[in-house]
Amino acid sequence: MLNQVTCDALYYSDGLVKHYQTLSALPGFVLLESRDRLHGRYDIVSAYPYERVVIPRDTTDLAASLRQFQDKLQSLTTTSACALPFQGGAIGYIAYDLGAKLMGLNAPTHPILDNMPLLDMGFYDWAIVVDHVEQSVTLISANQQSETMQLVKEIRVRWDSVSLFSSAFVLHRPFAPVISQMDYHAAFASIHADLIRGRAYQVNYTQPFIADSSGDPWGMYCTVCEHNPVPYGAFMRCQDFDILSFSSERFLTYDNNKMLTSPIKGTARRSADLVVDTQLQNWLLSCPKNRAENVMIVDLLRNDLGKIARPGSVNVTSLCALQSYTAVHHLVSDIEAECKDGITAWDAFMACFPGGSITGAPKREAMRIIYEQEQMARGVYCGHIGYFSAHGRCDMNIAIRTVVARHGCLYLGVGGGIVIDSQWQDEYKECLTKIQAITGAFLV
């Protein structure tokens, strides 16, 4: 079905979170947000999905479920004169565990993550798209459903009825590790032995942390983003849990047959002392280990893109560039490619899924090692959150720095790449540095 997209202008202001607050309690509310304006450009917000596709963890025919989702995506088409990135379509998450299940790897889940779907995508025929470069806000409607026009009127009223924002959220205790430091060390040693044997070159080993809270997790999301703005943040209201993603990493953008992936490998803490902070930047840029980690994943992703790219079109346009955030410095690379004819956004996604920066290299063997050493399934963590637009574009993050909030419990996975010259104490300390990017907002 071909649908005409209509676009209406709304008011742009620096206090957009107050407008998002008016929508945040609506069913199926989702926000994809770029608080860090240096590295991100668009916010996309919607609610009231007219359909939801969910693939449960215990599905007996995963391939058939994925084909049905793919068919649903391909049935969406729009025509529009606007250049907005989302023009109706699917918004949601695809869990890392879906990729593991495709390989026959089924790890047990932590109780907080019990029965969380492998894929949870809502289909939306309206959205508010914010362009921070143009400083514009557009309410788009793809007119899929007869109720949409009335719904758009409600959204306009809500957007204009901004009230004072109150963060009714309390973090009762800091995030605590689920596994002991001794268990972490033992897993690290086993992975290191696999690296020495040549089983893999790099393995991204992660561990879960949990905390207790009360109040609306939306308040937590807003507080963390205010203190630690990121370019690929997300907040999702799901059936009986919320997802809060404070991601600094893009997994894959597909637009008009052009693909871009931007892996992060290499992390250093920030310092309030400018001299020390500069030293940390210089250390990260010159560290052979961190650069080697990044280059390994760049090579892996060049290979992933090469499966579906026009010959000669895969290019590394930026290698190990420094990007700085409130709590950490990162090394980030950009790999671009042009698709072969007939490759859809979903094809491109599946060719690269799951992201190499959160598996290691080579990908399949690294995932087997992860399964052997990580005691619990990852869930949405290390999966991907984003959208597939009806006009053929997609943009997905890597769901790092991502919290699942369920009945007052918070679940947060943290990890990093292990290579042959890694030291377990340094890797463990890096996990704590990454958590500080989230918990630091509650310690000021």
Catalytic (active-site) positions? 249, 265
Which residue has 């370019």 as its token pair? 231
| Euclidean distance between CA atoms 385 and 383, whole angstroms | 7
| Euclidean distance between CA atoms 414 and 433, whole angstroms | 10
Residue 230 burial class via C-beta count within 10 angstroms: exposed 0-12, middle 13-18, buried 19 and up? buried
CB 116 within 8 A of CB 109: yes
Q: Whose CA is closest to 130, among 140, 122, 121?
A: 140
End-to-end alpha carbon distance in the chain: 52
Q: Whose CA is closest to 110, among 179, 52, 56, 18?
A: 179
User: One-letter amino acid identity for 215?
Assistant: G
Which residue has 């997790």 as its token pair? 217
Which DSSP string corresponds to 368-406? HHHHHH-SS--TTTTSEEEEEETTS-EEEE---SEEEEE
2 forms beta bridges with: 77
239: which 2 tokens? Answer: 């059936």
CB 146: neighbour CB atoms within 10 A?
Answer: 7
Per DSSP, the three-state class of 439 is helix
Per DSSP, the three-state class of 3 is strand
User: One-letter amino acid identity for 128?
Assistant: I
Which DSSP string corresponds to 282-332? HHHHH-HHHHHHHHHHHHHHHHHHHTTBPTT--EEEEEEEEEE-SSEEEEE
Per DSSP, the three-state class of 10 is strand
| Euclidean distance between CA atoms 69 and 345, whole angstroms | 13
CB 271: neighbour CB atoms within 10 A?
Answer: 14
114: which 2 tokens? Answer: 């019990």
